[in-house]
Structure 1
Amino acid sequence: MKQIQIILALCCLTFSAYAQKLKLSPVLQNNMVVQQNQPFKVWGQAPAGTVISIQADWQAAPLSVAANAENRFVGIIPVPVARKGDFSKHQITVSTPDEKRVLDNLLIGETWICSGQSNMQFSMHETLDSAREVPAANYPQIRLFSGSLNFSNEPLDSIQGTWQECTPATVYKFSAVGYHFGRELFAKLNVPIGLVFTGIGALAAQAYVPREVLAADTMLNRVYLQPYLDSPKSKEKMDGGFTFEKVTRPFLLYNAVIHPFINLSVKGFIWYQGESNRGERESYTRLTQTMIQSWRAAFGQGNLPFYYVQVAPFWYDKPDSTLADYAFFREAQERVSDLGNTEMVVTMDVGESRDLHPKNKKPIGLRLAKTALNRTYGLLDEAYQGPKFDYAEYGSKEVKVYFRPETVLKGLETNNAKAPEHFFIAGADQKFYPATAKIEGKHLVLTSSKVKKPVAVRYAFTNFPVTNLQNKDGLPALQFRSDNWPEPAPAK
């Protein structure tokens, strides 16, 4: 009897070892959305020299590839164009002469990566309208993947997480901004949507940039990388546990939660981050632009669109309504969009000045979606830009403010039927005073009895203004300043 037990145990061990020979990347799972109309990589591990057959049910013939000397394989298969209203379920079969893995319940559609810190992580059940939106989120044609938190000194190929159909239960803890973005794409495109969330609260942008990329840039190396490498913390053993400090360390999160996805075919990225870098200016602009370029290079799928969210108004426990340090950071954030195929969406009207995590996330997701629909999908009737400052005309008693014509095609309005708020004008003494604003068609007229000869105008250029000016498409005006005066030194 004992001999039989030993033989059975050995057989189980042998079978277990045998069963592990062919492994697919954990990113590739049942229920996922395969990016339409792009080459799709199927990758994993198998013993060196093993011939792997990859057969999608839309292919006439299988693709054969061999595992390399490092026991890895990658096969690239074509994917057809997604057809509106076609939610057919598909299979991809990956096999060797001895084993087979089947990816089932796949859809062909559009896949986006959603990343950033806590305002992107902010879950559906925490939102202002969760009681209405969560029970209604029954969309099996939208698929969700939430990557788990991890840190690594070296790039990783795997990440934990599960592809799931969108239901009230699965959306409950999913990114609210991500869901509303995907839901609007689904409504307008009528094709399956895949959403991959991979982010964590409090992260700093340098955590999402590869080490070698930081090292290659003189400024980024000096500001972010070298101070970390010179500190004792860089010698610590990495584990997956969260700390507020650890998520600000350079490159660790890129290695653990972005690198595992670089073989995944995607349509683009949405990003909501900035609060952890709010004391920075030029270095943040360069850091974020460099991050975007490094992701595009790593994914190797061209100039992928990158749409990001402006940080919302917040007081940071400083009730002085004239402070503007956060406005100067938002300005540095805005300059990120000087990089091609990027765009920033505005949050000034849906912020909560005393809450770092505003609960009204739906408008933000919709604005990201409108940006993608116009810029990526060519639906040019989808307005996506709020009023953007063009120029000002200074008279002896008033200032006329004009906006870029394409951002005020239908004119200006306010969201509460009151006069536009948060305008300031200054004279040559560089002292700003509140101004009364009046809408006249597609421009504004500003006046202030305290400024006899105005030379500069600012709008919403303080730390926590919650604004009401928008165009008649309902999109909020972007903060601006007409001057280039240097930022005042912080008060001691």
Structure 2
Amino acid sequence: MKYLYRLVLGLGLFLHCSLQASLQLGSLFTDHMVLQRDMPIPVWGIAEAEATVQVSFGDQVKRTTADAAGKWMLRLDPARASFEAQTMTVQVLASDDATIELSDILVGEVWICSGQSNMQFHVNSVPELKALTSQAKHIRSFEVKRTVAFSEQSTCEGEWVDSYPSSAVAYGFAHFLQEQAEVPVGIILTAWGSSSLEAWMPRDMVATVPHFRTMMEKFDADSVTRRKIQSILDGPQPWSKSDDVFLRRQANILYNAMMAPLAPFASRGLVWYQGERNTQSMHGMVETPWFSYNSGMLKYGDALKEWMLRYRQEWGRDDFQFLVVMLPGYYKALETGPQGDAESPVTHSWAWMRESQLKALDLAHVAIANTIDLGDEKNIHPRDKLPVAERLALLAARDTLGLEITAEGPMMQNVEASEDSLVVHFKHASGLTTTDGNAPTAFWIADESAKWVPATAEIRGQTVVLRSPELKRPLYVRYAFAGKPNVNLVNGSGLPTYPFRTDSFQP
């Protein structure tokens, strides 16, 4: 039986439904979808209470029974990657035999791409990536409509299309991953500019993230804000720019509308390009302006780890992969600290956010794409998105495809004090060199006085030796620990060295 899309008024959501409207599928189940290979595939929806629902895909036939509320879910067995279009049939085994048939389905690698404006940044604005779209084959996308909701939603508006995503980073990632995997790639894009980490948190994270609990208590008590949100949702569209900004800078309500409906759709993991909204303060919870009321840079790392663990619960997989884009070079000093320049290692700059982001590496199945050599000192929306996408794809190829490749630049392993010098030992440092043939830059050293001075750096094998005539006994190192450092240290694969500091001085 043919199906149609029914617009659910008030929520702006689409569901597949039969002519009898007695069978509905989750929003991600549409024609042209890509299913994740080599793992169980959840399929879910709504039918009549206690109805028997049957799903057929390939040579599989699975059945389940809807609960008293009509909700049902079953899991198909893992399927192999396939470029051959297949059909999925879902039917209620009853007198009316309500049926939905989905066509042109591929099986391959599926990733969710989320974050704020740099994830949303359009592929047409990056000529190098736009030029590659003519080669886009076997890449499909589902773009979630940007909206909010006060409670977790089970559906969202969008559909799978046989085309690449609009996001430059998401498309580039899919393009380079498809080259490595040689299977279809599906991208689920759910991103909204200037949104904070807290915007994408489920409400129950108040139990694990103290500052988020405070944020939600204030939100619940703020009847003016809640009425304004409801008024915008009830009003005409498109929204004004000010209303759009007002919605996307709130906590929790983006998750409710734009992420909750996606789980537990089978996918390899999530690419996360976010953090700029949380850089307006060091310690967070700044009352003015209101949209700076969030983690700040120092709390971000711990909150990010809790967020990842919570999403893994939502998807029911401990190996749900996270690929995080480190914030690239950009300079805007906070007024709370020393007012150095873009290369200062002590200014309250994005350096502290990058350090927080790197805390996520404490968890398994997490990787960080290093972008310290990219970005623009004055533009928070840099256009050099192609290398970001390439590095994300390398990490995915190594960590989820099992390819034996170099996917990371040098990472500090330990620092050895040697008389008047410090020797920095790195991992992933085969072929350690500089991009310009000059000595390594962006190293600063200090002694117990915490006075930081530029270091003279020399490469020795897979180490870098640091000295300064200003220090007799240096103790600590900060590398690329600045808003927009001038860096040149790479490994033999041309991948940049990760920023680090070895001191524990408080900002």
* TM-score relative to the length of structure 1: 0.87
**Contact 2:86–2:106 (CA<8 Å) still a contact in 1?**
yes
**Contact 1:313–1:465 (CA<8 Å) still a contact in 2?**
yes
**Contact 2:416–2:424 (CA<8 Å) still a contact in 1?**
yes
Question: 2:64 aligns to what?
Answer: 65
Once the two structures are overlaid, the 10-residue window that deviates more, 413-422 or 467-476, is 413-422
Match of 2:184 among 160, 170, 192: 192
SS of equivalent residue, structure 1 residue 89: strand
Whole-angstrom CA distance in 2 between matches of 1:302 and 1:395: 42
Question: 1:9 aligns to what?
Answer: none
Match of 2:411 among 372, 380, 388: 388
CA separation of 1:17/1:54 partners in 2, compared to 1, >3 Å: closer, same or farther?
closer
Once the two structures are overlaid, the 10-residue window that deviates more, 222-231 or 124-133, is 222-231
Number of equivalences? 455
Question: 2:84 aligns to what?
Answer: 88
Match of 1:356 among 354, 362, 380: 380
Question: 1:227 aligns to what?
Answer: 218
Question: 2:288 aligns to what?
Answer: none
Equivalence map 1:431-442=2 (5 Å): 431-442=451-462
Does residue 251 (structure 1) correspond to residue 252 (structure 2)? The answer is yes
Once the two structures are overlaid, the 10-residue window that deviates more, 33-42 or 244-253, is 244-253
Question: 2:481 aligns to what?
Answer: 461
Q: Deviations over 1:258-297 (max 9, x none)?
A: 1111131111111111111122244212221111111111
Whole-angstrom CA distance in 1 between matches of 2:298 and 2:477: 23
Does residue 208 (structure 1) correspond to residue 192 (structure 2)? The answer is no
CA separation of 1:222/1:65 partners in 2, compared to 1, >3 Å: closer, same or farther?
closer
Letter in 2 for 1:226: E
Does residue 309 (structure 1) correspond to residue 325 (structure 2)? The answer is yes
Once the two structures are overlaid, the 10-residue window that deviates more, 457-466 or 145-154, is 457-466
**Contact 2:330–2:378 (CA<8 Å) still a contact in 1?**
yes
Question: 1:485 aligns to what?
Answer: 505
Letter in 1 for 2:65: A
Whole-angstrom CA distance in 2 between matches of 1:143 and 1:415: 36
Question: 2:394 aligns to what?
Answer: 370
Letter in 2 for 1:138: A
SS of equivalent residue, structure 2 residue 433: strand
Does residue 424 (structure 1) correspond to residue 444 (structure 2)? The answer is yes
Equivalence map 1:137-216=2 (5 Å): 137-139=135-137, 141-166=138-163, 170-171=164-165, 174-214=166-206, 216=207
Once the two structures are overlaid, the 10-residue window that deviates more, 449-458 or 238-247, is 238-247
Letter in 2 for 1:145: F
SS of equivalent residue, structure 1 residue 129: helix
**Contact 2:123–2:130 (CA<8 Å) still a contact in 1?**
no
% of aligned pairs identical?
A: 29
Measure how far apart 1:105 and its partner are: 0.5
Question: 1:339 aligns to what?
Answer: 363
**Contact 2:298–2:353 (CA<8 Å) still a contact in 1?**
no
CA separation of 1:165/1:359 partners in 2, compared to 1, >3 Å: closer, same or farther?
same
Question: 1:450 aligns to what?
Answer: 470
Q: Deviations over 1:286-323 (max 9, x none)?
A: 22111111111111233311111111121127772322
Whole-angstrom CA distance in 2 between matches of 1:261 and 1:31: 17
Of structures 1 and 2, the larger Rg is shown by 1
Question: 1:76 aligns to what?
Answer: 75
Whole-angstrom CA distance in 2 between matches of 1:213 and 1:338: 19
Whole-angstrom CA distance in 1 between matches of 2:50 and 2:474: 76
Question: 1:129 aligns to what?
Answer: 128
Regions of 4+ moved over 4 Å: 239-242
SS of equivalent residue, structure 1 residue 119: helix
Whole-angstrom CA distance in 2 between matches of 1:243 and 1:337: 34
Question: 1:43 aligns to what?
Answer: 44
Whole-angstrom CA distance in 2 between matches of 1:143 and 1:456: 48
Measure how far apart 1:17 and its partner are: 9.3
Question: 1:298 aligns to what?
Answer: 314
**Contact 1:350–1:466 (CA<8 Å) still a contact in 2?**
no
SS of equivalent residue, structure 2 residue 245: coil
**Contact 1:304–1:341 (CA<8 Å) still a contact in 2?**
yes
Does residue 474 (structure 1) correspond to residue 502 (structure 2)? The answer is no
Question: 1:276 aligns to what?
Answer: 277
Whole-angstrom CA distance in 2 between matches of 1:52 and 1:415: 60
CA separation of 1:131/1:255 partners in 2, compared to 1, >3 Å: closer, same or farther?
closer
SS of equivalent residue, structure 1 residue 250: coil
Whole-angstrom CA distance in 2 between matches of 1:128 and 1:243: 28
Whole-angstrom CA distance in 2 between matches of 1:77 and 1:273: 33
Whole-angstrom CA distance in 1 between matches of 2:68 and 2:192: 35
CA separation of 1:385/1:198 partners in 2, compared to 1, >3 Å: closer, same or farther?
same
Contiguous gaps of at least 5 residues in structure 2: 1-16, 234-238, 282-295, 334-338
Measure how far apart 1:95 and its partner are: 2.1
CA separation of 1:366/1:442 partners in 2, compared to 1, >3 Å: closer, same or farther?
same
Whole-angstrom CA distance in 2 between matches of 1:103 and 1:17: 12
Whole-angstrom CA distance in 2 between matches of 1:248 and 1:337: 27
Letter in 1 for 2:90: V
**Contact 1:112–1:195 (CA<8 Å) still a contact in 2?**
yes
CA separation of 1:233/1:294 partners in 2, compared to 1, >3 Å: closer, same or farther?
farther
**Contact 2:129–2:172 (CA<8 Å) still a contact in 1?**
no
SS of equivalent residue, structure 2 residue 259: helix
**Contact 1:219–1:283 (CA<8 Å) still a contact in 2?**
no
Does residue 31 (structure 1) correspond to residue 32 (structure 2)? The answer is yes
CA separation of 1:17/1:415 partners in 2, compared to 1, >3 Å: closer, same or farther?
closer
Measure how far apart 1:23 and its partner are: 2.1
Letter in 2 for 1:89: A
**Contact 1:265–1:301 (CA<8 Å) still a contact in 2?**
no
**Contact 2:55–2:88 (CA<8 Å) still a contact in 1?**
yes
Once the two structures are overlaid, the 10-residue window that deviates more, 336-345 or 390-399, is 390-399
Question: 2:291 aligns to what?
Answer: none
CA separation of 1:63/1:431 partners in 2, compared to 1, >3 Å: closer, same or farther?
same
Letter in 2 for 1:300: G
**Contact 1:397–1:452 (CA<8 Å) still a contact in 2?**
yes
**Contact 2:298–2:352 (CA<8 Å) still a contact in 1?**
no
* TM-score relative to the length of structure 2: 0.84
Letter in 2 for 1:191: V
Letter in 2 for 1:155: E
Q: Deviations over 1:365-416 (max 9, x none)?
A: 221221122222221x211221111233334543322213xx11x2211223
